[in-house]
Amino acid sequence: MYRVLVADAINAEGLQPLLEYPDAVLIEKKVTDPDVALEKIDAILVRSATTVTEELLEKMPQLKIIARAGVGVDNIDVAAATKRGIVVVNAPDGNTISTAEHTFAMMAALMRNIPQAHGSVKNLEWKRNSFVGQELYGKALGIVGLGRIGSEIAKRAKVFGMNVLVFDPFLTKERAKNLNVQSCTLDQILEQADIITVHTPLTAETKGLINAEAIKKTKKGVFFLNCARGGILDEQALATYIGNGHIGGAAIDVFEVEPPGEHPLFKYDNVIVTPHLGASTKEAQLNVATQVAKEVRTYFEDKPVSNSINLPAISTDIYEKIRPFHNLSKQIGAILSQCVKEGVHELSINYAGSVTELETSYLTKALLSGFFKNRIDVHVNEVNALLTAKERAITVGEKISTNAFGYANSITVTAKVEDRQFTIRGTYIDHYGPRIVFMNGFNIDFLPEGNLLYVQHMDRPGVIGRVGKILGDQSINIATMQVGRKRAGGEAIMVLSFDKSLDDASLDLLQKLDDIVLLNRIHL
Ligand SMILES: NC(=O)c1ccc[n+]([C@@H]2O[C@H](COP(=O)([O-])OP(=O)(O)OC[C@H]3O[C@@H](n4cnc5c(N)ncnc54)[C@H](O)[C@@H]3O)[C@@H](O)[C@H]2O)c1
Ligand SMILES: O=C(O)[C@H](O)COP(=O)(O)O
């Protein structure tokens, strides 16, 4: 009998697939409840309220699957779960519409002072002149992050007659055209939008994306919304610019710390807030609960789950053989993603030599998981890689060939964007390891691991020295350095590795050097 702990408020009707399953028993209790025998639990169902830490996992040695009834898995230590062989599943699209509608409701309420007016009338006041608002019609709405929720907001905003500006570094022209939105840079949004709403995942790159520096570029009277994750919009900066009158108002559903307790934003009348209600509708809760209950049951029935975040989809035996190429493929995908930040519309993969004897479709999925890591909120793995590429309108082509360019095997991948393409080739050498042997037209040879810097530059005397001097002056130790060029005096590349990640200030200094053509920081 499987014991399933329902640790958060999850829609009871949605749990039906598990309630009807004869081999499962459901226990509806918090993880902190002393009556729960954590050591006997096989599956846990959570929302955002329960944090699944490594410490908690240590107390649950029987745990086989963690199901998140919602999108964000930032409350689950996925790496710790993976290390323990625990499958993590979520419900990525069950609450998209509800969150888009909540954002829209917040936007309308913000622009028409509805919460403030409501409070005033209930206080027996009748201050019609105090709550004069603004129309949505004709306003420029800036959407940062055009994924599932951002796209639904864009569609609704068009119907309201708004002018929709979007910033998403991974947006293709085709997708922008289909949604009839204007693709912009973040700065263009900051400078032109009347209302700005964020819908990215919270990642190292998006944390503080809208900070004081960014807010300074906005129009006076701009309105902000955050119904994604606390921290994308810097709360302290927001409070400062609301306090000095630059920002017209803000609507906030999510906070850096939840519940937030006393908060600097709460003293401003033009800030409206909700307690992380984006997904709190009957429909969304039924959707996500049903999705995860079905997933857990499917897992117990030993069938493949559809929205796994960390499950390898093949047997352990085959996985052992494929593992070196699996890791190499993931690294190639991750390098490509960090070297080509624009909207990729095609990825063509060429397998040659001994690797063609293996299940290459699995490697393609591994490559895509590396490519999408840090690009989108969904954790892409072998299970959902192709579907994710399809959803993002990226064509993935796979070819087998005999020409391994002198190596025993090679994996060559080309990413195509609007007006350029970028190719990377890797190989796995027995008893030596994975190597990247070709990048953007140049032969090279380096280990795909750790903190790297790709520098494309003019092949002139002194360039390498100047790069080395800047790094030395910043006390950055170069661990390894590989160079490559096509011909003397043309373009050349160098790939450097460091013991720690290269900071923004040093990258800026390098960018300003003469003779530098392209710089990409790569973290693997
Ligand atoms: N308030 C709520 O209750 C609630 C409910 C559901 C989801 N969410 C949150 O909403 C957010 C969006 O969810 P989704 O399902 O639309 O995710 P999604 O993965 O479909 O979309 C995220 C988009 O952000 C883009 N992006 C990534 N990095 C970016 C960057 N640096 N700048 C601009 N764009 C960037 C990606 O390309 C992608 O298109 C997530 O943070 C999610 O956790 C909140
Ligand atoms: O990531 C999500 O799905 C949302 O933030 C909803 O979280 P909740 O399930 O705690 O409402």
What single-letter amino acid sits at 8?
D
State how far the Cα of 154 lies from the Cα of 319, in Å rounded to an integer. 42
Same domain, 259 and 172: yes
Number of H helices, E strands in the chain: 16, 22
Please tell me the predicted confidence (pLDDT) of residue 84.
74
- Which ligand has the shortest distance to the CA of 90? 2
Same domain for 287 and 220: no
Residue 309 in domain: no
Residues 345, 469 within the same domain: yes
Helix (H, G, I), strand (E, B), or coil: what is residue 224?
strand
276, 297, 379, 425: the catalytic one is 276
Nearest CA to ligand 1 atom 11: 228
Are 253 and 295 found together in one domain?
no
Q: Give the pLDDT score at 12.
A: 97
What pLDDT is stored for residue 312 in this prediction? 58
Which CATH number covers residue 33?
Answer: 3.40.50.720
DSSP string, 109-157: HHHHTHHHHHHHHHTT---GGGG----STT-EEEEE--SHHHHHHHHHH
Nearest to 54 by CA among 8, 89, 86: 86
First-residue to last-residue Cα distance in the chain: 41
In a domain, 219, yes or no: yes
Is residue 308 one of the residues assigned to a domain?
no
How far, in Å, from the CA of 183 to the mean position of ligand 2? 28
pLDDT at 491: 94
Q: Are residues 487 and 383 in the same domain?
A: yes
Residue to mutate, 167, 168, 226, ligand 1, most ligand atoms under 8 Å from C-beta = 168
Residue 306 lies in a domain: no
Gap from CA of 49 to ligand 1 centroid (Å):
19
41 close to ligand 1 (CB < 6 Angstrom): no
* Ligand 1 center–CA 102 separation, angstroms: 15
Q: pTM for the complete prediction? A: 0.73
**Whole-number pLDDT of residue 507:** 93
Together in a domain, 381 and 437: yes
The residue count for the chain: 524
Q: Is 323 a catalytic residue?
A: no
Closest residue (by CA) to atom 6 of ligand 2? 279
Q: Are residues 426 and 457 part of one domain?
A: yes
Q: Are residues 357 and 472 located together in one domain of the fold?
A: yes
- Residue 264, domain member (yes or no): yes
Chain centroid, CA 489 distance in Å:
40
Does 278 fall in a domain? Answer: no
Task: Report mean pLDDT in 10-residue bins for the chain, 524 residues.
Answer: 98 97 98 97 97 97 95 89 83 96 98 98 98 98 97 98 96 93 98 98 91 98 98 98 98 96 97 98 98 95 81 60 91 96 95 94 92 79 78 95 95 95 97 96 96 95 93 93 90 94 92 93 95
Residue 315 · residue 392 · CB < 8 Å = no
pLDDT of residue 308: 86
CA distance 53 to 56: 5
CA of 229 to the centre of ligand 1 (A): 8
Q: Residue 383: its pLDDT value, please? A: 62
Which ligand 2 atom sits closest to the C-alpha of 49?
A: 10
How remote is the CA of residue 389 from the centroid of ligand 1, in Å?
16
182 plus 240 within the same structural domain:
yes
Give the chain's domain count. Answer: 3
> 417: burial class by Cβ within 10 Å (0-12, 13-18, 19+)?
middle
Whether 258 is catalytic: yes
Verify that 496 and 378 share a domain, yes or no: yes
- Strands 222-226 and 195-198 come out as parallel
Query: For residue 311, is it within any domain?
Result: no
Is the CB of residue 373 below 6 angstroms from any atom belonging to ligand 1? no
Give catalytic status of residue 297 as yes or no. no
260 CA → ligand 2 middle, Å: 16
Whether 71 lines ligand 1, by a CB cut-off of 6 Å, is: yes
Instruction: Pick from 71, 74, 102, 256 the residue to mutate for probing ligand 2's pocket: most ligand atoms within 8 Å of its CB.
Output: 71
Are 247 and 215 in contact by the 8 Å Cβ rule? The answer is: yes
Q: Do 193 and 338 fall into the same domain?
A: no
Contact between residue 423 and residue 441 where contact means Cβ atoms under 8 Å apart: yes
In a domain, 288, yes or no: yes
**Is residue 32 domain-shared with residue 157, that is, in the same domain?**
no
Predicted confidence at residue 79, as pLDDT, reads 79
Atom of ligand 2 nearest to the CA of 72: 1
CATH of the domain at 459: 3.30.1330.90
- For residue 164, the enclosing domain spans 95-273
Predicted pLDDT of residue 315 = 55
Contact in structure between 255 and 228 (CB atoms under 8 Å): no
